[in-house]
A and B are shown apart, each in its own frame.
Chain A
Amino acid sequence: MEPNKAGVEPNEAGLKPNGTDVKPSVAPGVRLGHVSFVWRPWLVGVTLLLAAATFLVFCVSIGVGDFPIGLPQVIATIFGRGEQVDEFVIMDLRMPRAMAGLLVGVALGVSGAITQSIARNPLASPDILGITWGASAVAVFLVTVSGGTAAAIVSSVGLSAAALAGGLGTGLLVYFLAWRRGIDGFRLILIGISVSAVMEAITNWLLVKADIRDVARAQVWLVGSLDDRSWDGIRVALWCTLGLLVVVACVAFQFKPMHLGDEVAAGLGVRYSRVRAVLLLCAVLLAAAAVGAAGPVPFVALVAPQVAMRLARFPTPPMVASGLVGALLLIGSDLLARAALPVSLPVGVVTAAIGGPFLVYLLVRANLK
């Protein structure tokens, strides 16, 4: 197997490979039968705090709207002890949107954590790997070329599923194009950039040909939005995401040498490369499911794992914490877009407004060190 450059490149670029910021902690191991893990109080504490914060923002987000509901009522209703009016507004009208935000945020965060860990490069997020553009191209194709008629036949459920398929297809295409006696993180990123460009060109061409009303609809698809979510609309994403998270949880346990590099992993046996492939596939599917539900919300997959890593003081992006930061970021941005801004904007605009400067900050700080 070729020496993996990915671990070196980001360092040269000024961005550190995951983890050199923090000292690897020496922590006591715990063994319960076949399952063994390392007891890290800081990581567990941060994760619990993040979970609490996510739940709080989730409830606040549900409470905000044309018919404001106080936080205590929201929490009471969620646990099944609310009044009937509140219950209708919350469970039928607001919950799907908040749930979509939660799912998409968690999916993007975990997906980013996996790809960044495997490529050992903070750049390797689903945004860069072309998955989001592939999904968008398919969605825009359905919205525009079919002139709205097929879009009517393909109901919103079908559109999400189609976008999911597009994202998955593009992700696999990038993976196979980048495969050359192994996967090199740097090559994966560059191939991803080029495939993204093709998908972007196709999308732009579709937009030129389309009717202006369809374009406005498609444009929302190009930036990521949580508007008009219903339980039907998020059903595909819901089951996909939950299923995938279970798979990731089962598999990730077996992949301790994720951040040790290809050589070490190879030396530890074939099982690890198989586990790695499964994880990467899950990452692609998670990202595709997220895009299917909300469009290509930019930067969440890139930013969340990096933030989680710093909060948790952990050498690689921690999975659970990354997912929670992703959810926090997405629901928080959506809340900001709805409640704090004068015009209502798609959530993707807000995450980009946060993510772009964050990326630049990472870059400048790493360079000045």
Chain B
Amino acid sequence: MAEEAKNSSGGSAAVVADGHGVETASVGTAVLSSDAVQNPGLPPHRKRVTDLDPKKEKNAERGVYGLFYLSIVGSLGAVLAYMFFPIESGDASEIRLHTIFVGSGMALALLAIGIGAVHWGKALMYDGESIDLRHPVASDEPTREASAEVFKVADQESGFSRRTLVRNSLFGALIAFPLPGITLLRGLAPQDIDPVEVLRHTMWDKGIRLARDNGGHKVGEAIRAADVTIGSVFHVVPENLGQAKDVLNEKAKAVVLLIRLDEKDLKETPEKESWSYNGIVAYSKVCTHVGCPVALNEQHTHHLLCPCHQSQFDVSDEAKVVFGPAKRPLPQLPITVDDEGYLIAQSDFNEPVGPSYWERLK
């Protein structure tokens, strides 16, 4: 049976043969058996069919050079395809043909070399296993001693251990020297703006009309309250968005989802009652989790879903979170109509929109 050789605290070294050879380092809690099964040694070499049958050997040889020639065909084919399947018109079918023929040629060229070379190695090259001896990774004792001596001499000659004040001040300097490099990166952030201030405001302001979001930088026409039927949803941007300095930056904060519900379905706290108009409510479209656009509306339940992480907000109940990782309801944009019947904002959002950040309450 197995014998517990060294199992007190994994301390000193043991020299025992355990079938894996002689060990000199600590074996820890390993159990070394004095009666281990012995390694039978390398099994006898088996010859392949290509070693035994000259015809098979010839076939393998043909296969290998055949593949290499095929690779040349593939390479030339890819070059020809590049020439004869141009994509000048940008037509989708042209691009597909170009990609397929060039790609197939290159794939053939590569695969044929690869398979040919591996086949050569496996079927024709001598397949007897060789043995390399390992040596311990650590350098041998004289080398270690010599290198220790080098450090010792260097230490004496420099006074590194002796002059502690010099040494420690060098350590301090080495720790400190990357700091200016990090400070230099401060220039990446804008110098003249206060993030807290910028994040709190959007382009919405008293009297700004709600316009359709026509994608990208395009602003559609302003929306009349009369055009908003019950159940309809509008993607909204401020009408003056186009005049912004960085349109996408402003848009990223200002996008709004406009929905008209049956007034009976709408739960509103008294202080926010005046924020809607005839059952039309406007909420920030930026998820309060990490800021993806909350763009999916489920008409029956009045739930808005963020496709990134599945936070759900109940539009009929002040956009409160009903599911998912978000915590805060979507900020509401107070709206009303102007004398021409267009929907306008009463003010900016009353809180910062989008993902949470440290100074959000400031």
Chains A and B come from one and the same complex: no
Query: Which residues of A are interface residues toward B (Cβ below 8 A)?
Result: none
